[in-house]
Amino acid sequence: MLTLVPEKPVSSGELTCVDFGRADEVDRRHQRVAEFLAASGQDALLITRPHNFAWMTAGGDGDRPGMGDAEMTAGLFITPEARVVLTGCVDSGQLFDHTLHGLGFQLKERPWTEPRSVLFEDLCRGRRVASDSGGFGAADAERQLARLRTPLSTFDWPLLRSVGRAVTHAVEATARTFEQGESEAEVAGQLSHRLLKHGILPARLQVMADGQSHRYRHWGFSDSPIERTCILSAVGRQHGLHVGVTRTVCFGQPTKAIADTHHLTALVQTTGLFFSQVGWTIGDTWERVARIYEKYGARDAWRQAEQGDVIGYHMAEFPVIPQGRTRIQTGTALHWHPSFRTGMVGDTILVHGDGFEVLTTSGEWPELTIEVKGARLRRPDILIRPH
């Protein structure tokens, strides 16, 4: 019988090494919060939402394993001088051993029999506190925190690229291997499996068979069989960062209507990618996208669904909308996912001084060429599989 002694690791492999780069990034983010508190006249910041927990901890996960965002196990209380984890006795060990080791966080712990809200209320009482939820008598600072989370710092870029490669592989591999006649739900299960085995949480899954996306742009999946065409779309989360990608499959040659619609949707998306430039506002880029719809006789088609989002620690930090005043900066990540009739495309880019970098390309998917302002760009086409 194997007996585990809590205070003694089984082997050196159980000892978590300190990530000094991550620790330095947490220090930098703490300094930004301290500057925000000074400017707003607040004593402290209370964090209770997973995207802000992940940002403040430079990729830490504060929700209960296996439950996604359903239940947070910890909050954070940040003052100019200290950063404190607020959690229960059941979760504190795991958090500090596997998520926050060596990052300079202190602990305030509660017994599991006491609601976590009691600890939050105790800390907020008598202080001027901002929070990301507006609860516990604190001022709601979520909009200001979104400005701290974006654009992404250079620390996040390699992680974002890694997540982009993995989510793209999962979507494309699923698209190449599922069987005609399988249900949307079965294919969603295959896609989820590919994401989870690489440590990526499915933040959103869509499997839309045979034109379902034309009727319902936010369709998830059902028990309907896939007969001819299918759109697979996923947003995956790892290290707190989100990346989205969409691909289309057709068993047999697509009809001219399906091919033309996909091409127009890809043209809309490519225009958005090309004009996502440092210094431009979202509204500046939007004007170019709107012109494509107008040019092809579909002036108001964009009103049917969202076209894109600034993405990062939140799945939709800021929407891509007309007159949007969010300014694109170095480190801005954008998930462009326009849809038109039966067509839907989706990719994530990182904008920097050299232009935009597509994070969701594999080099193993059929492509078409889109020309924008004289630039010839290769974009994902429809994958044609044997009928």
Q: Which pLDDT does position 17 carry in this prediction?
A: 79
Please state the domain count of the chain: 2
Residue 34, domain CATH: 3.40.350.10
Share of the chain above pLDDT 90, in %: 82
Residue 351, domain CATH: 3.90.230.10
Average pLDDT score over residue span 343-365: 95
Q: Which pLDDT does position 11 carry in this prediction?
A: 54
Q: If you ran DSSP here, which 8-state letter would residue 99 be given?
A: I
The sign of the dihedral angle between the CA atoms of 321, 323, 324, 328 is positive
The CA angle 25-28-30, to the nearest 5 degrees, is: 110
Is residue 3 very low, low, confident or very high in pLDDT (cuts 50, 70, 90)? low
Contact 91, 97 (CB under 8 A): no
d(CA 67, CA 360): 26
Q: Of 312, 377, 315, 307, whose CA–CA distance to 344 is shortest?
A: 307
Classify residue 91: in a domain, yes or no. Answer: yes
Is residue 62 very low, low, confident or very high in pLDDT (cuts 50, 70, 90)? confident
Contacts 24+ apart (CB under 8 A), 185-194: 185/221, 185/222, 185/223, 187/221, 187/226, 187/230, 187/232, 188/220, 188/221, 191/232, 191/234, 194/169, 194/170
Q: Which pLDDT does position 1 carry in this prediction?
A: 45
On average, the pLDDT of the chain sits at: 93
**pLDDT tens for each residue of 8-18:** 555 545 556 78
Average pLDDT score over residue span 49-68: 86
Classify residue 133: in a domain, yes or no. Answer: yes
Q: Which pLDDT does position 165 carry in this prediction?
A: 98
Query: Are 225 and 132 members of one domain?
Result: no
Contact 100, 85 (CB under 8 A): yes
pLDDT at 78 over 50: yes
pLDDT at 188 over 70: yes
Query: Are 166 and 300 members of one domain?
Result: yes
Q: Of 236, 197, 44, whose CA–CA distance to 128 is shortest?
A: 44
**pLDDT tens for each residue of 267-279:** 999 999 999 999 9
| Pairing between β-strand 343-344 and β-strand 339-340 as defined by DSSP bridges | antiparallel
Reading across the β-sheet that carries 347-352, which strands appear in turn? Answer: 318-319, 308-311, 332-336, 347-352, 355-358
pTM: 0.93
Query: Are 62 and 211 members of one domain?
Result: no
Q: Which pLDDT does position 354 carry in this prediction?
A: 85
Where in the sequence is the domain holding 351, given as residue range(s)? 156-385
Query: Are 49 and 104 members of one domain?
Result: yes
Classify residue 106: in a domain, yes or no. Answer: yes
Query: Are 55 and 144 members of one domain?
Result: yes
Contact 54, 242 (CB under 8 A): no
Q: At what angle do helices 184-196 and 156-177 cross, to 10 degrees?
A: 140
Average pLDDT score over residue span 27-38: 98
Of 149, 171, 203, the domain-final residue: 149
Of 90, 124, 149, the domain-final residue: 149
